[in-house]
Amino acid sequence: MTRPNYVWRLKTIILTIVLGYTSASWAENYPYRSDFLWLTIPDHANWLYQTGEQAKVEVSFTRYGIPQNVEVNYEIGPDEMPATSSGTVKLKNGRATISMGTMKHPGFLDLRLSVKGDYQHHVKVGFSPEKLKPYTKNPKDFDDFWQGNLEEARQSQLHVDCKKVDSYCTDETDTYLLKIKTDKRHSIYAYLSRPKRQGQYPVVLCPPGAGIKTIKEPMRNIYYAKNGFIRLEMEIHGLNPEMTNEQFKEITTAFDYENGYLTNGLDNKDNYYMKHVYVACVRAVDYLCSLSEWDGKNVFVQGGSQGGALSLITAALDPRITACVANHPALSDMAGYLDNRAGGYPHFNRLKGMLTPAKVETMAYFDVVNFARRITCPVYLTWGYNDNVCPPTTSYIVWNLITAPKESLITPINEHWTSDTTNYNQMLWLKKHLR
- What is the sign of the dihedral through the CA atoms of 359, 360, 362 and 368? positive
61 forms bridges with which residues in the sheet?
Answer: 38
Active site residue 34: no
Q: In a 3-state reduction of DSSP, which class is residue 397?
A: helix
Annotated catalytic residue, options 237, 276, 328, 416: 416
Q: In a 3-state reduction of DSSP, which class is residue 435?
A: coil
Annotated catalytic residue, options 110, 183, 333, 387: 387
Active site residue 387: yes
Strands (E) across 54-197 are located at 55-63, 66-67, 71-78, 85-90, 95-101, 107-115, 119-127, 160-164, 173-181, 187-195
Active site residue 305: yes
Rg of the chain (C-alpha set): 23
SS3 of the chain: helix, strand, coil, percent, to 5? 30, 30, 40
Q: Give 9-63 as a DSSP string.
A: HHHHHHHHHHHHHH---TTSSS-TT-SEEEEEEESSTTSEE-TT--EEEEEEEEE
266-280 in b/e form (b: 16+ CB < 10 A) is beebeebbbbbbbbb
Read off the DSSP letter of residue 141.
Answer: T
The closest of 310, 284, 318, 262 to 182, measured between CA atoms, is 284
Read off the DSSP letter of residue 92.
Answer: B
Annotated catalytic residue, options 305, 311, 332, 395: 305
48/387 Cα distance (integer angstroms): 15
CA distances for 361 relative to 207, 272, 399, angstroms? 25, 12, 22
Residues that are catalytic: 305, 387, 416
